[in-house]
Chains A and B, each alone.
Chain A
Amino acid sequence: MSVATIAGHQLHVDGEGFLTEYDEWDEALADELAARIGITLTDRHRAAIRFLRNDFPARGETATLRRVAVVGGIPVKELFELFGAKPAKKMAYIAGLPKPRGCV
């Protein structure tokens, strides 16, 4: 873990660039993170990101695509449309959370 800059902010990140401190994230940073991977956030993107953020503290792990679909109510098909290939990892990155570790 190291401190590095993203859009002028100093933030804790892991070797790949995922944020490691839950509280260092805010909605404005989400736009910056999304832009870095070529995504412009819409309200639907934000709904998915918000679900991930709200789900994380109690569970201590990032929701899988299936959990976002079943519990968060955003269909898997839509998540692929919104985020393209590797949607679970991209959502986690934009939400400032670790990569999901679940298999399904």
Chain B
Amino acid sequence: MSTVDTQEAPVPDFGGAAPGRSLAIICSKGNLDMAYPGLVLANAALGEGVPTQMFFTFWGFDLITKSRMRDLKFTMLGNTATHLPQGLGGLPGMTALATHRMRQQIAEIGVPDVPEFLDQIVDSGGHLWACRMSADMMHVDENDLYEPVEGIISAADFIEKTDGAQLLFI
């Protein structure tokens, strides 16, 4: 039953996010399953009007390295959340199989792969930064990185850029 009310309907509050709110996401993992939490949350924050900066460091560097970003893998090893015997994960071909299955599941729900997801984040106004120390360790430079990455910067620079932001370490 609806109640009859001739009052003027309320107007939803679409005023951006809370003033000054911003988000900093540090992506430190390169496994396929660990790439997504940061990407999904960055995308959600941007959609809600929250300025978002992402910093890719250590294994997270794989997400923005051109030669690897299309080839992230998922392994069952060390992951009890698959609820399968751990020994299975060590069998030959299991990582390839698990990766294939996870990619299918992700695609089935209409979620893009990593490069396309990063495109969407950049198109939504997100900022991507690469970690200086990781670049030095892995001997890569700007030419090796996904183009929309704005620069290779030190951890201190990232902290400076995200002054006052809420921080998420993944």
Contact = CB atoms under 8 A, between A and B. Distances in A.
B12 A16 contact: yes
Interface string B55-99: 000000000000000000000000000000000000000000000
B159 interface: no
A102 B43 CA distance: 12
Contacts, number: 85
B110 A86 contact: no
B40 A103 contact: yes
Interface in B1-36: 2-14, 16-17
Given A1-B2, A86-B48, A17 B123 contact: no
Contacts of B5: 2-4
By DSSP majority rule, is chain B's interface helix, strand, loop, or mixed?
Answer: loop
B8 A4 contact: yes
Interface residues on B, range: 20 to 34
Interface residues on A, range: 35 or more
B8 A18 contact: no
Most buried by B among A3, A4, A88, A104: A104
A103 B42 CA distance: 11
B111 interface: yes
B164 interface: no
A90 B74 CA distance: 37
Interface of B: 2-14, 16-17, 40, 43-44, 47-49, 110-112, 117, 120, 123-125
Interface of A: 1-6, 10-13, 15-18, 36-37, 64-67, 69-70, 75-77, 80, 85-90, 93, 102-104
